[in-house]
A and B are shown apart, each in its own frame.
Chain A
Amino acid sequence: GAGVSQSPSNKVTEKGKDVELRCDPISGHTALYWYRQSLGQGLEFLIYFQGNSAPDKSGLPSDRFSAERTGGSVSTLTIQRTQQEDSAVYLCASRTGWDNEQFFGPGTRLTVL
C-alpha cells in the first residue's frame, strides 16, 4: 500500500516568507508526527497528533511554527516569517494506535535564503 507522502519535496523561500508543508499519512494511522532534521543531525521532535486528542506541541521551537491535522488525516506544518536557521529537512511519520513503529515520509527539504 501507499506509504507516507510529503509535499513539496523541496522548498526554497526567502527569509520572512511563510511556508506550508504537507503530510499525507498512511490510511488508518491515527498518530502523526513532525520532526526536523538539520544537516548531519538527529531527528528533533516537533509535534504529535493522536486521534482527536489535543496535539502535543512541546517540541515546537517558537510560536512561528504551527501545525494542524484536518479530519484525522492530512497534516500541514506552517512556518511563519521563516528564518535561515529554519533550513532543514522536515519529516512526517505516522503509526497505528497500537504499534510503536513509526513510518516516515521522504521529507521536505526547506531552504531559507
Chain B
Amino acid sequence: QQQVKQSPQSLIVQKGGISIINCAYENTAFDYFPWYQQFPGKGPALLIAIRPDVSEKKEGRFTISFNKSAKQFSLHIMDSQPGDSATYFCAATNGNKLVFGAGTILRVKS
C-alpha cells in the first residue's frame, strides 16, 4: 500500500519531443506528489509538485497531470532538451516520509 510504481524505467526522446513519465499509487491518504530530478553525481532536486485538489500544474516546460480517481499522476516535459537528460523520480507522502518510485532514466537525443 505504500508503494509508488513508476514507468518506464528508461526513455529516449528526440530533442523537441514530449517526454512522459507515469506513476501510480495505492494509498489514498497521500496528499503531496512531487517529482525530483537527479543528475549523475548529484542529489535529487525538487522539480515540481502537486496536491490532489488540482488536476494539473504547469511550470514552464514541465506539467504534472493528476488523476485522483485512477490514483495516477504523470510528468510531461514539453520541448525536451538534451539538458533534461537525467533520472526522474516521482514520490508521494501523507505526512513526513516520502515514498519514491524506482526512477526513470531520460535521455534526450540532439
Identify the A interface with B (CB < 8 A). Answer: 4, 31, 33, 40-43, 45, 48, 50, 56, 91, 93, 100-107
Contacts and interface: CB of A to CB of B under 8 A. Distances in A.
A56 B46 contact: no
B100 interface: yes
**Interface size bracket, B side:** 20 to 34
B103 A104 contact: no
Given A4-B43, A91-B44, A100-B34, 13 more contacts: A42-B103, A43-B44, A43-B100, A91-B43, A93-B43, A101-B34, A101-B49, A104-B44, A105-B43, A106-B42, A106-B43, A107-B42, A107-B43
B32 A42 contact: no
Residue from A4, A31, A101, A105 whose CB has the most chain B CB atoms within 10 Å = A101
Contacts of A107: 42-43
Contacts of B100: 42-43
B93 A100 contact: yes
Contacts of A56: 96-97
A48 B102 contact: no
Nearest to A9: B41
Contacts of A104: 36, 43-45
B25 interface: no
A40 B104 CA distance: 9
A43 B89 contact: yes
A50 B42 contact: no
